[in-house]
Amino acid sequence: MKSPFSIALLVAAASSAVPLASSLPVATRDLLDAYDYIIIGGGPGGMVTANRLSEDSSKTVLLIEAGPLHKYEKEIMIPRWQILGALDLSYQWGTLTTPQQELALNRPVILNQGKLLGGGASLNFMVWGRGTPTEYDTWEELGNPGWGWKGLLPYFKKSEHFTPPRQSQVDEFRITYDPECHGTGGPIQNGYSHYNYPQNRNFQDAMASLGFSHTAEPMCNSLGYHMSLHSIDDKNQSRSDPRTAYYDPIFGEKGTPRPNIHVLVEHLVTKILTETVNGVVRATGVEYAASAKSPVQRVLVNREVIVSGGSLQTPKLLQLSGIGQKSVLDKLGIKTVVDLPGVGANLHDHAAAPSLGVVKPGVPSLVDITLNPKLDKEQGDLYYASREGRWTESGDSLAFLPWYNITTLSRKEADAVIATTTVEESLKYLAPDTHPDVREGYKAIVERVHRGHVAGTIAAEETIWFMGGVEMLSTLMNPLSRGTVRPVSRDPWVPAAVDPRYLSHPADLDFIVEGVRLIRRLIKTDPMKEIGHTEVLPGPLVLDVGDALKAYVRTSLLTAWHPTGTSAMLPRRLGGVVDPELKVYGTSNLRVVDASIMPQHPSAHTMSTTYAIAEKAADIIKAAAAAASP
């Protein structure tokens, strides 16, 4: 794959900015004084929105991204090396949570987020999925017309170009799909890796032997087990991300230049500028800088500012700009522009407990190719020659499972766990200083989550079969623990305090523990015995006696890197931050477009949903502009 180095890009100082009438990579003119739209953050929220808004050649667009452009490194683009890309700190924010009181030794958790154009969608494991229709319909029930399943499905489809599996994959892994659930004309390529570990079939057979159902079409209902789709280009078997799908078609060497869009990388937006007229706040522009020691610069906006910094950076910037809970801002000496208690609240994340294992010699896995340089080189040569072989492998098997399907507890014990998810019980586990509005929103969410668990229409846990069985994860779905993102200084270069309060709700721990038990049950099935799967972690010394598995989860818990909810799309009286038009309450022209607007997690990895949010947001913004035109 040839890297398109001929890129129209604004890189460092304003003195070398690209003129709006050109897409040349180097120019000497400064940025414009003002743009119609300023977008903060170049992940799947921001880059999608920038691309779509710049389709209107009469509107000028500036996107500012804190991180750099990636260089199409193999660790980012090639599935074989994606685990190294996910660990590359040069493209990450380096986020560490506050000490977590419910974890062993009050340890913090590494909660890194992508800091590059493409965001987490350029570093993740490319899992492409959607939640259940019930979960998106819940968003609509919470006061967001048009954000239910029927309202979102067209935008899921708009963002994607689905390539069906090969017939051999259909036969071997029982892949079924419904064309009505997929898009085929969108920018993000998705489908199946050309190589899949054959023991994915063993995982599926093991799931079937325990009575679980195969997912007929995971893009229209995720519940059950299935081979995962990935955001992978079928032709070249490499990552499809905001860079390749939304940026390069404009700025790449084969792109079609648009003279009305600029992208400025490696600059942090430090503040949103505002003015208040007749009690309504209007964003007038932003301040930004290349580093803490660089001069702060300013650019103005004619129409709207759109914040797409992600679930951790967006609430931090809003609060530093005076939009947040007044009592929080007062402590930092920040003047309150809009008293909005939901900003930085409602933080929840998919937490997980790992189970590591090995398979018998002769069964392919990440281990054998890693320990055999000759095999690795042969597979690399095959990849570069034909885009086939094991370097294309990114295929996981996933299972999204309701509570009563996974638990082996007695009915009385299982019911007792679900009883803790009622509104009355769940309120006991909120932080004591939770604002009353946020508390009311939590009640509305919990009521629907509880109802979903009872009905079995949402997942409590996701089981991930990864790397050919080297790693399996018990991953919490629909978490009820809630935390916060709070700035600790007026200095924008100081990281915020990120406190997910993992496992503060006891049901979250119960769900993960039952997932660990399920993995152990899977390992004991005949299909797993065929490949000699042996548990290494938790290991034979961790018996399922008393609270031993709970202790293991508290010790091993990690994040699935899916924080959401910190700029929740909810009514303001329920602690909401944005309305159904994604406009920040109390403002006339400030919106949020990223994963932080999700009021509650879907039973899915968040990437696909974030793309859909951005596609829908772009249409909302375009419609608003059209309505305002004379």
> Which segments are annotated as binding site for FAD?
124-127, 269, 561-562
Q: Do the bridges between strand 534-537 and strand 351-358 make them parallel or antiparallel, or are there none, so unpaired?
A: antiparallel
Catalytic residue among 182, 348, 601, 605: 605
Rg of the chain taking only CA atoms, in angstroms: 24
How many CB atoms lie under 10 A from the CB of residue 276?
A: 12
Q: Which residues are annotated as a binding site?
A: 124-127, 269, 561-562
Cα angle 533, 538, 540 (rounded to 5 degrees) comes to 75
DSSP state of 185: S
Q: Give Cβ neighbours of residue 543 (< 8 Å, ≥ 6 apart).
A: none
Nearest to 244 by CA among 44, 81, 21, 22: 44
Q: Give the rounded distance of the alpha carbon of 410 from its chain centre.
A: 35
Instruction: Give the 3-state secondary structure of residue 249.
Output: helix
Burial 56-79 (b: 16+ CB within 10 A, else e): beebbbbbbbbbebbebebbbbbb
Q: Is the peptide bond before 538 cis (omega within 30 degrees of 0)?
A: yes
Closest among 498, 492, 72, 40 to 296, alpha carbons compared: 492
Residue 338 pairs in a beta bridge with: 323
> Is 505 among the residues known to form the active site?
no
How many residues would you count in the chain?
630
Cα–Cα dist 34/55, whole Å: 18
Structure tokens at 577: 């931050």
Residue with tokens 């967001």: 144
Q: Which one of the listed residues 226, 267, 562, 601 is annotated catalytic?
A: 562
Q: Is 267 a catalytic residue?
A: no
Residue 465 β-bridge partners: 397, 472
Pairing relation of β-strands 534-537 and 229-230? unpaired
Straight-line distance from the first to the last Cα atom of the chain, in angstroms, rounded to the nearest whole number: 47
φ/ψ (deg, to 5) at 461: -150, 150
Q: Positive or negative, the Cα torsion across 572, 578, 582, 587?
A: positive
Catalytic positions: 562, 605
